[in-house]
């Protein structure tokens, strides 16, 4: 998708109860940051859940499908010439540091749909590009696998639908496959074991749930399948570098910030 504009960088704020964009791409780099809620982005390589403590970098030309459910997001688009060549190689998840987050919100003063720019906007987006470039070095491995193999896709779907209680025996029974088939087909298609996928899926889901107001840490631990708060705390800290309570506190502090300024032009597809 080509954004009809003469500017080299700009922003977009989007708020919706539910939207599935369908597969599309941009010829500008995109940095998407949820201000409230959790966004989901699927690419050929897998799926990403992005809570408000994270931002996703989508290089120009990368086909992706975005799902938004009760989400308010802010995106910044950059002409590829503004970023180094290595920024084009892959989708990445960045920590939404306070500096990066505030700069994204401030950038909403200059929508991507505007037809003219000025020196102040150009200088601001050049500075933001430097901050983003630094953040790309801290990209986090929050990718969940996807597969074109119908059986493996069914295994993934069943596992995620029953994440709190799922066992290998449940998968064998539901899909009428043997343990050996589950183990071999899943590893061949995704490069990881089914059991490793379950742990990663539970922790990624927990990150998303902790970023929502309401549920306690104990509630989240149980909802994603951890039998005790202590085991959840250890696994979550090893995965993210933060305790669940600290992660939740940071996420909720950010998501309850005041609303960003509204764009002055119609919203485009996210």
pLDDT digits (tens, 9 = 90+) for 7-19: 999 999 988 888 8
d(CA 113, CA 134): 26
d(CA 131, CA 128): 5
Q: Is the pLDDT of residue 4 over 70?
A: no
State the pLDDT confidence band at 2, using cuts at 50, 70 and 90: very low
Which pLDDT does position 14 carry in this prediction? Answer: 87
Q: Say which CATH topology domain 147-254 has.
A: Arc Repressor Mutant, subunit A (1.10.10)
Higher pLDDT, 235 or 261: 235
CATH class of residue range 9-136: mainly beta
d(CA 156, CA 109): 41
Give this prediction's pTM. Answer: 0.71
The domains of the chain are located at 9-136, 147-254
Average pLDDT over residues 210-231: 88
Task: Output the DSSP codes for 153-171.
Answer: HHHHHHHHHTTTT--HHHH
């Amino acid at each position: 998708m080509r954004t009809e504009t003469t500017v080299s960088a700009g922003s977009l704020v989007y708020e919706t109860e539910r939207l599935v964009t369908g597969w599309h791409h941009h010829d500008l780099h995109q940095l998407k940051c949820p201000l409230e809620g959790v966004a989901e982005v699927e690419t050929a390589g897998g799926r990403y859940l992005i809570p408000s403590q994270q931002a996703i970098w989508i290089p120009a030309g990368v086909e992706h499908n975005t799902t938004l459910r009760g989400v308010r997001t802010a995106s910044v688009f950059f002409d590829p010439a503004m970023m180094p060549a290595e920024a084009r190689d892959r989708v990445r998840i960045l920590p939404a540091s306070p500096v990066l987050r505030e700069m994204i919100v401030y950038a909403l003063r200059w929508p991507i749909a505007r037809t003219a720019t000025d020196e102040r906007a150009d200088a601001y987006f050049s500075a933001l590009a430097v901050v983003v470039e630094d953040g790309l070095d801290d990209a986090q491995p929050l990718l969940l696998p996807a597969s074109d193999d119908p059986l493996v896709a069914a295994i993934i779907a069943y596992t995620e639908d029953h994440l709190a209680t799922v066992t290998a025996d449940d998968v064998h029974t539901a899909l009428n496959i043997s343990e050996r088939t589950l183990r071999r087909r899943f590893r061949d298609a995704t490069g990881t074991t089914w059991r490793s996928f379950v742990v990663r899926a539970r922790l990624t889901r927990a990150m998303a749930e902790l970023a929502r107001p309401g549920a306690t840490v104990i509630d989240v631990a149980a909802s994603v399948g951890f039998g005790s708060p202590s085991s959840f705390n250890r696994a979550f800290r090893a995965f993210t570098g933060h305790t669940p309570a600290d992660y939740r506190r940071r996420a909720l502090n950010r998501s309850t910030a005041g609303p960003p300024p509204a764009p002055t032009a119609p919203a485009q597809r996210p």
